[in-house]
Amino acid sequence: MSRSFCLLTTGLALSLALNSASAAPKHDKHDKHGDDSDIQVDLRGPSIDIGQVRIILGDNRELIGPAQSLPPGIRKNLARGKPLPPGIAKRFDGRVLNQLPRYDGYEWKQAGSDVVLVAIATGLIYEVLQNVLD
């Protein structure tokens, strides 16, 4: 065989090997059977009218009762995106909850003198209204 023929076949074999190595495997997300392009998730969460929530809580003070601030060490853990610390939050009276705005997948809780909106599935805090119950 001639040297140029050997180089040509070696180059062709190398080219085919590189193309097949870069091809997507069958389990890749771009496979036509696993295409998730029609699924959309809104990561922003609900838009909250904080003023309305404050008015409702103020109008229903007698149903909520007295509230004391949390200790500073625990209170600093009440932040958006963090998990709600276990055992510090209370549920609101049903009469108050019925008046508060509802957001699918979220629930309102009282944590000391603060009010938090928590994602039910993850327990992550979405919104904190500080000192609203002082």
Question: What pTM was estimated for this model as a whole?
Answer: 0.66
pLDDT range class, residue 43, cuts 50, 70, 90: low
Nearest to 126 by CA among 83, 92, 75: 83
Task: Tell me the domain boundaries of the chain.
Answer: 50-129
State the CATH architecture for 50-129: Roll (3.10)
3-class state of residue 116 by DSSP: strand
- Percent of the chain's residues with pLDDT above 70: 67
Give me the pLDDT at residue 65, please.
84
pLDDT range class, residue 37, cuts 50, 70, 90: low
Cα separation of 27 and 44, whole Å? 30
Asked if the model's pLDDT at residue 27 lies above 50, the reply is no
